[in-house]
Amino acid sequence: MTENRLRRLVAGTILAAFSACGGQAVAQLIPIRTVPVATGDQFLTTPSANFGMAGLTYAVDDSIADGWSNPAKGALLSESSLLSAPVYYGISNGGGGGLTFPATGLVAGENWFGGVTAALQEIDNPGTDGRFWTGGAERLSDVSARNVYAGGFVGRRLGSGGWSLGVGAGTARLEAMDGVDLLYAGAERIEQSGSIHDLRLGVYRESGRDRASAVLVRNAVSMTHDVTYLDVTSTGSPPARQSVPRIETNLDRTRTWGLQLAWDRRLRAPGWRIGTSLTANRKSHPKIPNYNIQNIPRDPGNSTAWELGFGIARSLDGTTAGLDVALQPIRSDTWQEAEVPVERTNGATIPSGGRTIENDFSFLNVRLRVGVAHEFEKVGLRLGLEGRSYDYTLEQTNNVNGEFRTQDESWIEWTPAAAAVFRLRGVDLHYGVRLTTGTGHPGVDRGIVVNSPDSGGDFVVAPEGPLTLADATVHTHQFWVRIPIR
């Protein structure tokens, strides 16, 4: 038994159709990460006006993206429009990439408002390096995969009290999630299939200088991995070696409840605004894939995550500058269950279904964003920087041999961003770019490499030794066209 093997917990990923700025639209879903894996912007499927400002959220409005995060905040839409926002991202050192082509419509009526979006996506798999292919032309499904996203929201302003109410839904049919193909060492072929579903109920109120909002989220991830291995056997006399295909099916299931309360106020000082929010997530993981690199059963886990955020911004004479600070305390518990009774070293027996290993994670993560924008008559410029600090302590108990160990890990990721907006007659053109550093292909000092998908969301790996990192960068380009309907 390999009680100290790597443990991998795929938790609730992302709001499939509602990603706007690498976290802007999924602000109610708090990511959980224990390794600095370089992954791309697979779920960046709708545009954001604050893309180049590092996704400022708490004290800066984003009328293009806010309705996807909280359907009731579609009340901030000033006009109806049609948008398309193609996105390309790539990961260095053979990490793959993707291309997304979305189409979005936003409607701003006197009382009613809403939006609808759909996106087609191609995911390029990372370089195989001989893992899946030994010669000849590669199979199409091993080179790239297709994903389809759709979503919408609708809301209404309620009378003269400043209240608005909205509901939203999103879905994704997925043939690939970033990085999963790298988790099954020695596999001949991997076929992914599944879906992500998201429901949101939001409320928003504007009263004088104050604005308040609340949103309830239900997110469900359901993926299946059909993994083909080649088992080498010897038959006949004299013995002849032959390869026999074996298919293993792994399930990935995560269910998340999320709640966010937010408030902001326009200060009496000209142009100043402050904002704050409190977010809570409860995540359950009934099925976890049996990744070959870990060699552990498919066991459950639970996570509880909080985020307290504060922001301040000033808008004056065409210039907006802002700062966001977020603190994320998180607890995550995972465990390995015995498939059959297991004898402990002290002579006692762990029954079938009992816990052989228990991993307790305690996180205290910090996220900082700073951004500035200036509007000229026909051109708008944005600059921003996001820093994400991850810090956690792992306490691992081995109930088979009675061992206990602790491990502390921390790292920082940096994402500079920039964007330009060109306002032409009857159309707005927007180009944004950002680069993420501080991530890569992590492993442990025994040389076991862990390539895990972020998917815009969570993974909790209990490493068996201090982390190592082979650096990689992620570069993302978004170009969107907006046609106002006046």
Quick check: 136 pLDDT over 80? no
Range of weakest confidence among 27-36, 170-179, 394-403: 27-36
Q: Look at residue 101 and tell me whether its pLDDT is greater than 60.
A: yes
Domain ranges of the chain: 7-259+280-306+421-485
Q: What is the pLDDT of residue 133?
A: 43
Give the confidence band of 41 by pLDDT, cuts at 50, 70, 90.
confident
More confident call, 136 vs 320: 320
Binning the chain into helix, strand and coil, the percentages to the nearest 5 are 5, 60, 35
pLDDT at 445 over 80: no
Distance CA 223, CA 195 (A): 6
- Among candidates 48, 47, 67, 177, which has minimal Cα distance to 119? 47
Q: Is the pLDDT of residue 23 over 70?
A: no
Report strand pairing: 349-350 vs 467-485.
Answer: unpaired
**453 pLDDT tier (thresholds 50, 70, 90):** very low
17 band by pLDDT with thresholds 50, 70 and 90 = very low
Round to whole Å and give the CA distance between 220 and 322. Answer: 33
**In whole angstroms, what is the distance from residue 161 CA to residue 29 CA?**
30
Tell me the sheet residues that pair with 232: 243
d(CA 113, CA 109): 5
- Rounded to an integer, the average pLDDT of 260-279 is 96
Question: Which residue carries 């939203």 as its tokens?
Answer: 168
Judged on CB neighbours under 10 Å (0-12, 13-18, 19+), 53 is buried
Largest CA distance in the chain: 91
User: What average pLDDT score do residues 294-310 get?
Assistant: 74
Please tell me the predicted confidence (pLDDT) of residue 24. Answer: 43
Out of 2-6, 107-111, 156-160, which region has the weakest mean confidence (pLDDT)? Answer: 2-6
**114 pLDDT more than 90:** yes
Q: What is the pLDDT of residue 69?
A: 92
Q: What percent of the chain has pLDDT over 70?
A: 79
Q: Is the pLDDT of residue 132 over 50?
A: no
Tell me, what's the pLDDT at 291?
Answer: 55
| Whether 202 contacts 211, CB under 8 Å | no
Calculate mean pLDDT across residues 126-147. 57
Q: Is the peptide bond before 47 cis (omega within 30 degrees of 0)?
A: no
Average predicted confidence (pLDDT) for the chain: 81
What gap in Å lies between CA 193 and CA 94, rounded to an integer? 23
- Asked if the model's pLDDT at residue 300 lies above 90, the reply is no
What pLDDT, on the 0 to 100 scale, is given for residue 167? 98
Residue 472 clears pLDDT 70, i.e. is over it: yes
What does the pLDDT look like over 79-92, one tens digit per residue? 999 999 999 998 88
Residue 293 confidence (pLDDT):
41
In this prediction, residue 127 carries a pLDDT of 54
Band the pLDDT of 220: cuts 50, 70, 90. Answer: very high
Q: How far apart are CA 311 and CA 322, in angstroms?
A: 7
Residue 395 burial (10 A CB sphere; 0-12, 13-18, 19+): middle
pLDDT band at 441 (very low <50, low <70, confident <90, very high): low
Check residue 138 and report its DSSP letter.
P
Q: What is the pLDDT of residue 315?
A: 95
Please compute the mean of the pLDDT values over residues 446-459 and round it to a whole number: 38
Q: For residues 222-247, give the mean pLDDT.
A: 79
User: Per-residue pLDDT for 280 more than 80?
Assistant: yes
Q: Which residue has the higher pLDDT, 324 or 182?
A: 324
Rg (CA), the chain: 24
Residue 22 has pLDDT above 50, yes or no: no
Q: Please tell me the pTM assigned to this model.
A: 0.82
Helix (H, G, I), strand (E, B) or coil at 195: strand
Quick one: tokens of 442?
């992590």
Percent of the chain with pLDDT over 90: 49
- So what's the pLDDT on residue 368? 97
Residue 232 vs residues 129, 135, 247, 301, 374: alpha-carbon distances, Å: 21, 19, 14, 35, 64
- In 3D space, the residue among 217, 225, 219 whose CA is nearest the CA of residue 196 turns out to be 219
Residue 450 in this model has a pLDDT that exceeds 50? no
Measured in residues, the chain has a length of 486
- The pLDDT of residue 457 is 42
**Taking CA 348 as the corner, what is the angle to CA 346 and CA 350, rounded to the nearest 5 degrees?**
120
- pLDDT confidence of 153, banded at 50, 70, 90? very high
Looking at residues 450-465, what average pLDDT do you find? 41
The answer, yes or no, to whether residue 288 has pLDDT greater than 70, is no
List pLDDT tens digits, range 348-388.
899 988 888 888 899 999 999 999 999 998 999 999 999 99
- pLDDT at residue 198, as a whole number: 95
pLDDT computed for residue 9 by the predictor? 33
Find the mean pLDDT for residues 203-229: 92
In this prediction, residue 467 carries a pLDDT of: 47
Locate 213 and state its tokens.
């909002």
Please report, as a single letter, which amino acid is at residue 166.
G
